[in-house]
Chain A
Amino acid sequence: MDAKLNQSDLSAQLARMCEMSVTKADTFTKAFFDVIIEGLESDGIVKINGLGTFKMVDVASRSSVNVNTGEKFEIKGHKKITFLPADSLKEKVNAPFAMFEPVEVDDDYVDEPDSSDEEQTDIAADTTVQAVAAENIQPADTAAQAVAEENTQPADTAAQAVAEEDTQPSDTAAQAVAEENTQPADTAAQAVAEENTQPSKGNSKTNKHRYIWLTLLIIIAAGILCWPVFTDKETPQPAETKIAVAEKIETAPADTTVVADTLCAVDAVEESLPFVLVEELAQTKLSAISIKDTVHYTVSGIMAVHRVGLDETLVKISLSYYNDKRLWPYIVQHNRLKNFNQLEIGMEIEIPRLVPHK
């Protein structure tokens, strides 16, 4: 091992092998290498079975820079001797590593040796849970509003209220985390309960505008009451409730068109609008956090099919495709994943193309 052999060593071995004198073997080995050189001179290529091919190769001239002076100069083209080992020689030399074969590398496998990445994903997971919670609360809120509106408005607004509710990503409610679910449910129930007591007191037409006025106030009051409950829990909350309020404004003008026949009702709603706007302004100050998160997307086609690799989470996949770790619920929803906490390696997931919803 690691010995250095020279020509005389080769001759000695050859003499032993072929049972001849060392001098004879020595002349042979000398001649052997001399003939190779001669062959290279005359033909430019020498092929020896079992050993390989010696070849003369042209090297093109190229420009270079003198490291000391920075001067440019040209390296002239010249000839170079290359040796291409024969397959049998290659195989025998590579015998210790013969069992290895080239392996396909998964497309999305990336070396992530740093531990900071793990921390990142933890944070990401947290924020996504928050996002889901927020989304869950939002439909519940609007549902409460819709119920309230239905109670005070003529029956034909019901369809509209439902339609508006549909525009919300209420489908994510299916993925609700139990803990988060209880909150909006409570507030919704509360709102409904409060609303129900109001219309039962009286239905006389003359007082109708007062009831609308009152119910709207109660909704706002309920919102304010629920405010601390939401805010002390998570920071992104203000943004979500802001949307809820914005939704409220949207529903309010829509209602005015429906109840246009009763002028007083219109007045009442219009009067309530500035109120809501003031409230909204106050909330926007709190909710300076990125509004991008609250954009809703609709699915249009499939962007890619992803094969789940080692150590991948939905958050990581979402981050790699959408550049946003919070959009993973869309992947879950699109693939109808029942147990999205356990991805299997090699699982194929369709990545939906998301278009911002207007």
Chain B
Amino acid sequence: MNNKEFISKLSQRCKFTPADTASMTEGLVTIITDSLKEGDQINVSGFGGFEAKMRRERISVNPKTGQRMLVPPKIVPSFRPSAKIKDKLKETE
């Protein structure tokens, strides 16, 4: 399911126009992005949580050339699914 399909399905469900749905989706995404940027956690019950995680610097080795690289520290957005969604998806198997 790509972005287009996602928006069309969402618009059907909420009975909004696709254009409205697209702009609202964009708004929601910017809200999530901004709060992650601030270091906030987002928890959506029944779905999961978004969080920005700090990764420390490390040394990686290119196995082909043996060249070692110092990878700098970074902040990575991460998602952790809730137990509820896990169970739900397990049932569908």
A interface residues (Cβ-Cβ under 8 A, vs B): 1-7, 10, 13-14, 17-18, 25, 27-29, 31-43, 45-52, 54, 56, 78-79, 81, 83, 85, 88-90, 92-97, 100-105, 107
Q: Nearest B residue to A103 by beta-carbon distance?
A: B70
Q: Provide the bound-state CA to CA distance between A83 and B79, in Å.
A: 6
Q: Are A100 and B72 in contact (CB under 8 A)?
A: yes
A122 to chain B, nearest CB (A): 29
Question: 26 A-B contacts, Cβ less than 8 Å apart?
Answer: A2-B41, A4-B40, A5-B43, A6-B45, A14-B24, A37-B89, A39-B5, A48-B29, A49-B26, A49-B29, A50-B26, A51-B29, A52-B79, A81-B81, A83-B79, A85-B77, A85-B79, A89-B36, A92-B37, A93-B75, A94-B74, A96-B75, A97-B75, A100-B72, A107-B66, A107-B68
Q: Which residues of B contact A (CB under 8 A)?
A: 1-3, 5-6, 9-10, 13-14, 16, 23-33, 35-48, 52, 59, 66-79, 81, 85-86, 88-90, 92-93
Interface of B is mostly: mixed
The residue that B43 contacts in the complex, of A6, A34, A39, A43, with Cβ under 8 A, is A6
| Chain B residue at minimal CB-CB distance from A13 | B31
Query: Chain A contacts of B88 at CB under 8 A?
Result: 37, 41
A-B contact sample (19 more), CB < 8 A, given A28-B24, A79-B89: A5-B42, A10-B32, A14-B28, A18-B24, A28-B28, A29-B28, A31-B14, A43-B1, A48-B3, A50-B30, A83-B78, A89-B36, A92-B36, A94-B74, A94-B75, A95-B37, A97-B74, A102-B71, A105-B69
